[in-house]
Structure 1
Amino acid sequence: MLQRAATQTLTEQLAARFAMRIRDRLMAPGSRLPSVRQCAALHAVSPSTVVAAYDHLLAQGLVEARRNRGFYVRDWAKKLHPAGAGSAQADSLSIASTDPAEARRLNAPISAATLMRGMFHSGGSDRPQPGMGVLPPEWLDNDFMAAALQRVSSGHGLRDATVRYGDPQGDPALRRALADRLAEQGIAAVPAQIVTTVGATQALDIVSRTLLKPGDTVMVEEPGWSVEFARLSALGMRLLPVPRGPDGPDLAVMARYCEAHAGTRDAPRLFVSVSVLHNPTGYSLSPASAHQLLKLAQRHDFYVVEDDTYHHLVPDHATRVSQLDGLQRTIYVSGFAKILAPAWRIGFLAAPPALVEPLLDTKLLTTLTTPALLERALAQCIESEQLQHHAERVRTRLALARARSVHHARAAGCRFVTDPAGLFGWVDTGVDTDALALRLLDVGYLLAPGALFHATRAPSTLMRINFASAQDGEFWRQFQQARDAMAKSA
């Protein structure tokens, strides 16, 4: 809360709070600030204090006033200067305080910065964060990783892995272990088809940079991962959102995109999909949808990039496009950050043989190689089946957490839009979750509002919760208080 006995005035404190959130991109460009009345009620100050604080933000060039609509975080991609002859003073102040580099930084792509900073920045709170995209660190704690690292470092292992670059394609032992693991999932891939990467995110980036060029069209699932939307947009790609349903992507929409642009420069080149435990809905692909998707990809000559980041949280028999396709028109991407070692940053891709060399060339141009020592340790964890046993324990723990989180959410009056499954829940709160997120940030909780998961940001009453970190009853009490306060001030 704002402190009346502080050295700063209430106006200065309130302005500084919003300025920090804007500069840290916890408030995305174009998002609306609370109304003067709502903000005054939320912070227990007078409306005149809020007006003065918003004037401070205007003077800094961080927000803009829209007639009869309120105050909005400034969108630097649309304009560097406020329009209108009456804004000359704000113009000069904005230019003085914000250089072009700062303007570009403040105008982060759609929602990626908002989401990622939310994932890594807890706002000084040590509370469980329901908007997080990862498992709690204590869930990943184990002894076998350190033991494996010690084994591969013994003798000349540490020296050999340190003084020379490893295999650019990835440690051979890890690629063999990954090939065996993929075979257990029904995906036929030999070690020569596998390239290790710095996490699954780099694998997706390598695929995009290899197969696409600026201006190309990519189909993406919506709702979907906003970081992927922003990453592709930053590369200059044109995004075509495809609604995601319980059985898979809306194939009719995909067909219309392909037919409308057939034979032109705008024909879709790629479709990026999370087949199993889709983020944020928890949906998993059906065999029938996978089959039809492959027929569509073959007919219209595009690749399917299958992001299987959450594969450790689901049984092996779940349907994947790569199983049916045999890695002919699919590229399989996964990693270990979600289940084992976020800081090790080990991911991989498995691709059609003809694409391996071009993909490896792109990897060489970005990272040269990947950490051989950590890859060898991970190979031992896989080969000894310790990773598999660890994943089974995590799945059991997650099932219990999911049941508790679902109980709390429903008791708080929320409705699950999709059946709860996997790590994430897709929840309808009944209120604007962008505004709700700002209220809960004041009491130390970070949300993942529904608008973050759409290629074009729009107000939403949905939010994604992490079942592992949404078990906290105190969060749901604060959630209800914030939602009720919003209803009263509406």
Structure 2
Amino acid sequence: MLIKTASQSLTEQLSARFAERIRSRLLAPGARLPSVRMCAGQQGVSVSTVVAAYDQLQAQGLVVARRNRGFFVRDSSSNTPLAPAGKAQTAIKNIVNGPVDAAALIRGMFHPTSSKPQPGMGVFPPDWLDTSFMPAAVRKVTSASALRAFSLQYGEPLGDAGLRRSLSQKLGALNVHAAPGQIITTVGATHALDIVSRTLLRAGDCVMVEEPGWAVEFARLDALGMRILPVPRRADGPDLAVMAQYCQLHAPKLFVSVSVFHNPTGCCITPGSAHRVLQLAHQHNFHIVEDDTYSHLAPEHATRLCALDGLQRTIYVSGFAKILAPGWRVGFMAAPPDLVERLLTTKLLATLSTPALLEQALAWCIDQGQLRRHAERIRSRLDQARGRSVQLALAHGCTFAAEPAGLFGWVETGVDTDALAQRMLDEDYLIAPGALFHAVRKPSTLMRINFATTQDAAFWKVFVRLRDALR
């Protein structure tokens, strides 16, 4: 609730609260603000206070009023979605730029809403990742002579040779066979995805992405000027009929897939579906980027497109921020031999090299078995957390739109989660509403939860109270 003070009126406080959320993209462009009466009830203020606050937001150019409809966050984008028509055709006609508010989730990682566990976050809590072997690894590779060498010269263009050898062996266990010379290290997995896009695509090219999918990937491709073709993601993999129609109509250049522990559903692609996706890639001459960010949480025998394809039309991307060291930002890609030089050129133009010190420390963690044992502990802890979170979700009237697996749950709430998200922010909880995971933003009753941060019954009590109020 807002409390009037000598220095700031209720109107000013309410206006400032909405302004902050709009500027930090916690309220997306085009999002509708609560009705005047609803907002007054939520905040415990008079209708006139809300009207005055909305007027201030209008004066600041942050919202627009639409006659008989309400107040909406101003959308400065000139891109307009095409009208939907039919099931498969809906996906095909909605070739639009992705949402621009995905940065809210990233900002939330850097500037938490509060000290409470945050259900919308895409990372493990810091205490889960706290280890003793990582400082030891850094000490191991920072002798006086080594530190001098790291500081006075650039690292190897492809990345540290020792790390690439370690990664080659690690990929072999997944049946992804890549020589060290096919591996390029990057500043995290997102950097690897960006290098691939900048190398293989030009503004206006069509890119197939899974929907629901990773909000940050939609926003990243949008920023590069790509035309996004959303492919419905099912439990067994992408909708092959929609992919085939895209190939016939739009000649896409790339397909971006999280085939194992898909974000946000947690589903894994089946061998049959993977085989058909690869057939389409060879038939229609497009590349596939397999984002295996959650590989450390998945069994080695999980189906991977790159293993079936042998890195012919596929590019494997992964990293260690999720499981080991978010601040180290060490990622990598394994690519077909004929693409390595082009991808390396893009990397060099952007970053020149990657941090050799951290790459050598990571190689030590892999070679000594420390990473493997750490991942086993995380998987065990996550299994327990998932069980507790699922029980709490079901006990509080939710269902799961996909079988719970991996780090994320795809939860059916029964209410508009965009509206729910704004109410949860008032209680210092950041949730990830379903609309964020669609290339064409639309109302959704789904939300993505992080199993590691939703074991707290206090969150679910607040959730039920606000959900029921929305009903």
Give me the TM-score of the superposition, normalised by structure 2: 0.95
* Code of the aligned partner of 1:18: F
Please tell me whether the aligned partners of residues 185 and 316 of structure 1 are also in contact (alpha carbons under 8 angstroms): yes
- In structure 1, the partner of 2:104 is 114
Choose which of 257, 276, 297 in structure 1 pairs with 2:281: 297
| 1:155 shift after superposition | 4.3
Q: CA deviation at 1:260?
A: 2.0
Give the one of 184, 187, 200 matched to 1:211: 200
Q: 2:388 aligns with which of 404, 416, 422?
A: 404
Corresponding residue of 2:16? 16
Q: Offset at 1:5? A: 3.6
Are positions 1:463 and 2:453 aligned together? Answer: no
Q: Could you tell me how far 1:119 is from its partner in structure 2?
A: 3.4
Find the counterpart in structure 2 of residue 280 from structure 1: 264
| Counterpart residue number, 2:354 | 370
1:99 is matched with none
1-side partners of 2:200 and 2:316: how far apart?
14
Amino acid at match of 2:194: D
Q: Which residue of 1 aligns with 2:85?
A: none
Taking a change above 3 Å as real, the CA distance of residues 108 and 44 of structure 1, as seen in their structure-2 partners, is: farther
Count residues with an aligned counterpart: 454
CA RMSD of the aligned region, Å?
1.3
Distance in 2, matches of 1:252 and 1:420, equals 26
Cα distance, 1:161 vs structure 2: 1.2
Q: Deviations over 1:252-277 (max 9, x none)?
A: 1100111123xxxxx10000000100
Does 1:242 find its partner at 2:231? yes
Q: Do the aligned partners of 1:26 and 1:117 also contact (CA within 8 Å) in 2?
A: no
Counterpart of 2:109, as a letter, is M
- 1:313-361 deviations in whole A, cap 9, x for unaligned? 0111101000011100100000000000000000000000000000000
Helix, strand or coil at the partner of 1:315: coil
CA–CA separation in structure 1 for the residues paired with 2:406 and 2:323? 12
Aligned to 2:26: 26
Structure 1 residue runs of 4+, over 3 Å off?
Answer: none
Alpha-carbon distance in structure 2 between the residues aligned to 1:78 and 1:154? 54
Counterparts of 1:407 and 1:171 in 2: how far apart (Å)? 45
- Aligned equivalent of 2:411, options 412, 427, 430: 427
Pairs within 5 Å for 1:82-481 = 109-123=99-113, 125-261=114-250, 267-481=251-465
CA distance in 2: counterparts of 1:236 and 1:108, whole angstroms: 10
C-alpha distance in 1 between matches for 2:174 and 2:6: 60
* Offset of residue 109 of structure 1: 4.7
Between the aligned partners of 1:482 and 1:148, the Cα distance in structure 2 is: 46
Q: Is the 8 A contact 2:207 2:255 kept in 1?
A: yes
Cα distance in 1 for partners of 2:98, 2:297 equals: 32
Q: Secondary structure at the match of 2:327?
A: helix
Residue 171 to residue 478, structure 1, CA distance change in 2 (3 Å):
same
Partner of 2:65: 65
What letter corresponds to residue 272 of structure 2 in structure 1? Answer: A
Consecutive unaligned residues in structure 1, runs of 5 or more: 80-106, 262-266
CA distance in 2, matches of 1:30, 1:339: 35
Q: Report the counterpart of residue 91 of structure 2 in structure 1.
A: none
Shift of 1:122: 1.9
Residue type of the alignment partner of 1:355:
L
1:200 corresponds to which letter in structure 2? A
Q: Secondary structure at the match of 2:301?
A: coil
Q: Secondary structure at the match of 1:37?
A: helix
Structure 1 residue 159, shift from structure 2 partner: 1.1
Look up the match of 1:264.
Answer: none
Which residue identity is paired with 2:49? Answer: T
Is 1:48 matched with 2:37?
no
CA distance in structure 2 between the partners assigned to 1:302 and 1:112 by the alignment: 27
What TM-score results when the alignment is normalised by the length of structure 1?
Answer: 0.91
Name the aligned partner's letter for residue 199 of structure 1.
G
1:118, CA displacement in angstroms?
3.1
Residue by residue, what CA displacement relative to the aligned partner does 1:145-190 show, whole Å, maximum 9, x if unpaired? Answer: 1111101112411111111101011000000000000001111100
The offset of 1:113, in angstroms, is 2.1
Q: Report if the CA contact (8 A) 2:26-2:101 is conserved.
A: no
| C-alpha displacement of 1:116 | 2.2
Residue 108 (structure 1) shift:
10
Q: 1:342-391 deviations in whole A, cap 9, x for unaligned? A: 00000000000000000000000000000001000000100111100000
Shift of 1:194: 0.1
Deviation, 1:6, is 4.5
CA distance in 2, matches of 1:243, 1:163: 49
* CA distance in structure 2 between the aligned counterparts of 1:120 and 1:454, rounded to whole angstroms: 23
Task: Give the Cα separation in 1 of the matches to 2:442 and 2:150.
Answer: 49
Please list the CA deviations of residues 45-104 of structure 1 after superposition, one character each: whole Å capped at 9, or x if unmatched. 11111111111111111100011111000011249xxxxxxxxxxxxxxxxxxxxxxxxx
| Matches of 1:380 and 1:159, distance apart in 2 | 19
Cα deviation, 1:230-271, whole Å, max 9, x if unaligned, reads: 11111111010000011111111100111123xxxxx10000
Matched residue type, 2:410: W
Q: What is the CA deviation profile of residues 86-142 of structure 1, one whole-angstrom value per residue up to 9, with x for unaligned ones?
A: xxxxxxxxxxxxxxxxxxxxx99533223322333322x100000000000000010
The answer as to whether partners of 1:270 and 1:303 remain within 8 angstroms in 2 is yes
1:279-309 C-alpha deviation (Å, 9 max, x unpaired): 0000001111111111110000000100000
CA distance in 2, matches of 1:473, 1:393: 24
Q: Residues of 1 paired with 2:5 and 2:351: CA distance?
A: 52
Q: Secondary structure at the match of 1:344?
A: coil
Separation in structure 2 between the aligned mates of residue 186 and residue 329 of structure 1, nearest angstrom: 16
Q: Is contact 1:129–1:470 with CA below 8 Å preserved after alignment?
A: yes
Distance 1:155 1:58, change over 3 A: closer
- Verify the 8 A CA contact 1:26 1:118 in the aligned structure 2: no
What's 1:96 paired with? Answer: none
The offset of 1:192, in angstroms, is 0.2
User: What SS is found at the alignment partner of 2:141?
Assistant: helix
